Amino acid sequence: MHLNDTSAATGRTAFLQLNQDGMAWVAADRALTAANRSGDPITVGAASRSVAIAMRRQGHHHGAVDLLTRTALGLAADTGEPDPDVLSVYAALLCTAAYSCAQNGQRAQALDLIGEAEQAAARLPDANRRGRLPTPANVAVYRIGIHTTLGEPGIALNHARTVDHHLLPTPERQARYRIDTARAWEQFGRPTQAVQTLLAAERIAPQEISRPSVATLVSGLLYGPGPTPTELRALAVRAGVAR
List all residues 6 or more positions away from 116 whose beta carbon is below 8 Å from its beta carbon: 78, 94
Contact between 146 and 98 (Cβ < 8 Å): yes
Identify the pLDDT of residue 3.
28
pLDDT tens, residue by residue, 81-133? 888 888 989 999 999 999 999 999 999 999 999 999 999 998 887 654 444 56
Q: Is the pLDDT of residue 218 over 80?
A: yes
Highest averaged pLDDT of the listed ranges 47-51, 53-57, 168-172 = 168-172
- pLDDT band of 25, cuts 50, 70, 90: very low
Helix, strand, or coil (residue 104):
coil
Q: How many CA atoms lie within 13 A of 206 on its CB side?
A: 4
What is the gyration radius of the CA atoms in the chain, in angstroms? 18
Q: Is the pLDDT of residue 31 over 70?
A: no
Q: What is the pTM of this model?
A: 0.81
Identify the pLDDT of residue 117.
95
Helix, strand, or coil (residue 223):
helix
Q: Is the pLDDT of residue 232 over 50?
A: yes
Identify the pLDDT of residue 38.
61
- pLDDT band of 189, cuts 50, 70, 90: very high
Q: For 208-226, what is the mean pLDDT?
A: 90
Question: Rounded to whole angstroms, how far apart are CA atoms 120 and 123?
Answer: 5
Q: For 129-152, what is the mean pLDDT?
A: 83
The helix (run of H) or strand (run of E) holding residue 154 is helix 153-162
Q: Is the pLDDT of residue 37 over 50?
A: yes
Lowest-pLDDT range, 2-16, 56-70, 131-145, 218-232? Answer: 2-16
Which amino acid does the sequence have at 72? A
Q: For 194-209, what is the mean pLDDT?
A: 95
